[in-house]
Chains A and B, each alone.
Chain A
Amino acid sequence: MKSAWTWFLLAPPLALALAFFVVPVAYLFWVSLHAASPSELYGASLTLRHYTDVLGDPFYLAIVRRTVGIAAVILGLCLAIGYPVAYFVALLPVRRRMLAILLLLFPLMVSNVVRAYGWVALLERRGVVNTALRDLRLTDAPLELLYTPSAVVVALMTILLPYMVISIANALAALDRRYEEAAQALGASPARTFLHVTLPLSTPGIASGTLLVFLLTLSAYVTITLLGGPRSKLLVSLVYDNVTAFQWPRAAALAFVLLALALAFTALILALLRPGRVQGAGR
């Protein structure tokens, strides 16, 4: 009786998750193992060619490396800026902290295409930055700020920064201040207290912020395209290009290379930071 009721509740959401999440992803993997076909979505013969092509081709490898490189820079900047900001926010009194978090949450709800457009308006040839530089007589000709890897880094970093700040601020706000007081009372300097007490206790926040920023960077096709233009393509751009060229098995293989990158990074972060060892960190 009890279990029949549970299954009755569970059946509709489970059906959606299986039919439109698990099955299509499994089907995509199946297609990635097939030869290309000029007339069908994919050919009849099984092959690993698309994976060996991607992993053996210097063009693809260069783009995979660029993707990892840009993601690493974005991540480094998010951590370097996000940690002190999170610390500042976590030390605010409750009401002002809530206000700060609301201010950080709001941009996350605005569509990324709008936020990317804001950066386009700032950086384009007749944009705000170039106009200001001209009016201040600092430049003669407009600077080419848009369609560069730096534009992608700056825009994506600021778009994703609130995730990092909120994750770390939540971890720091939940931290028991008595640990820090104990360290200081035992003679540790503020720097030592931070390195040996505060920082390790905030690793769950660092881990979840890091994972969010990295995973969302991998998928950020629209921001990368608008800010990076045709010359600063990343792995996700290759997935899209192959879909629009109807190269289904190759697009599928590239999608799974992207997924493998995401999984490898997740495993690395969990192994390095071991967020589970901080008590009460389980969400």
Chain B
Amino acid sequence: MTGAPTAGSMLRGVATIVAFALIVVPILIVVVAAFSPNDYFQFPPPGLSMRWFVEFFRLDNMRSAFALSVELALASATIATILGTLAALALARRGGAAGGLLQSLFLAPLVFPTIILGVALLLLYKTIGMPVFAGLLLAHCVVGMPYGFRTVLASAQALDPALEEAGQSLGAGPLRTLVLVTLPLIWPGVLSGWLFAFIVSFGELNTALFLTGPGVTTLPIEIFSYLQFQGSQLVIAAASSVQIALIVVLVAVIERIVGIARITRAR
């Protein structure tokens, strides 16, 4: 970056170490704090204890928020991926203005400020009288659909059209071709789309902020309201570590099944 190559590479090395420290340290602190034996977090910790995890699963509101978050993520990721896959298959070989417009529409929730979507949906739900869980589920479907759409679109566009034509010319209808030929070939795209939609729903804040109700709260929103109204107690660190642990497992699954290369290309 500068005159002498050594100065430039040193600067890059230092910047990289600082950046990774700033990104990773706050997450590590949360995990370390979760294992504290005391009422308050001390660093370095005087010992290790599981008491805050026990406390987390003992608190009704925490346990039910965790269960709701998992149910919501499973359901919304599944619906979002099915719908995203349908949209991707319909648009994979469709150019033109209409195709481009529809593609932008399906990708729009990725860049649209989700806080506005949250307010807009709350207003709509108040007007038509939507049950809380159904409303939250539909919101997370909208937020998750672009992930399934994007990964499947990439897989479907890389597909050799001759394979589908072969299926059709051998007498299979469009549905049979889809199930027996297309789906097995685009499967990695479908799966990574589902995992992404799950992860996004599981940590989502901006629509859930408006759409959760009394007794129907997601884990991130429960953590947020605890921090706001009860201060930072260590049970929050345990709740956060449960969130982190689930993500670690999912990332390991993604890496094993589809490989990390696919994700970086999809970004």
Contacts and interface: CB of A to CB of B under 8 A. Distances in A.
Interface of A: 5-7, 9-10, 12-14, 16-17, 20-25, 27-28, 31, 41, 81-82, 84-85, 87-89, 98, 101-107, 109-115, 117-122, 124, 126, 128, 131-132, 154-155, 157-158, 161-162, 165-167, 170, 189-191, 194, 211-212, 215, 218-219, 221-222, 225-226, 236, 239-240, 243, 248, 251-252, 255-256, 258-259, 262
A25 B237 CA distance: 36
Given A21-B142, A111-B202, A84 B119 contact: no
B97 interface: no
25 contacts: A13-B86, A16-B145, A24-B117, A24-B120, A25-B116, A31-B123, A82-B19, A84-B1, A84-B11, A87-B12, A88-B12, A107-B24, A107-B27, A109-B199, A111-B203, A119-B26, A120-B232, A121-B30, A121-B41, A128-B41, A132-B43, A189-B3, A219-B113, A219-B116, A256-B116
A82 B173 CA distance: 51
Given A13-B83, A219-B206, 11 more contacts: A10-B86, A14-B102, A20-B141, A24-B124, A27-B120, A102-B251, A107-B27, A161-B23, A190-B5, A225-B228, A243-B122
B102 A102 contact: no
A120 B8 CA distance: 34
B57 interface: no
B223 A117 contact: yes
B176 interface: no
B113 A258 contact: yes
Report the 4 A-B pairs with minimum CB-CB distance, sorted nearest first.
A118-B26, A111-B203, A24-B120, A13-B87
Nearest to A121: B29
B121 interface: yes
Contact of B209 (A17, A189, A222): A222
A16 B142 contact: yes
B116 A161 contact: no
Nearest to A255: B116
Interface residues of B, number: 94
B15 A88 contact: yes
B253 to A, nearest CB: 12
B247 interface: yes
Interface in B31-82: 33, 40-43, 82
A21 B240 CA distance: 30
A189 B7 CA distance: 14
B232 A252 contact: no
Nearest to B198: A109
B133 interface: no
A28 B113 contact: no
B126 interface: yes
Q: Which among A120, A189, A222, A262 has the greatest number of chain B C-beta atoms within 10 A?
A: A222
Contacts of B209: 221-222, 240
A194 B1 CA distance: 7
Nearest to B3: A191
A8 B2 CA distance: 57
Given A87-B12, A236-B115, A110 B205 contact: no
Contacts of B123: 24, 27-28, 31, 41, 248, 252
B240 A239 contact: no
Interface string B82-116: 11101101110010000000100110110111111
Contacts of A6: 90, 94
Nearest to B33: A121
B162 interface: no
A80 B56 CA distance: 40
B18 interface: yes
A6 B102 CA distance: 13
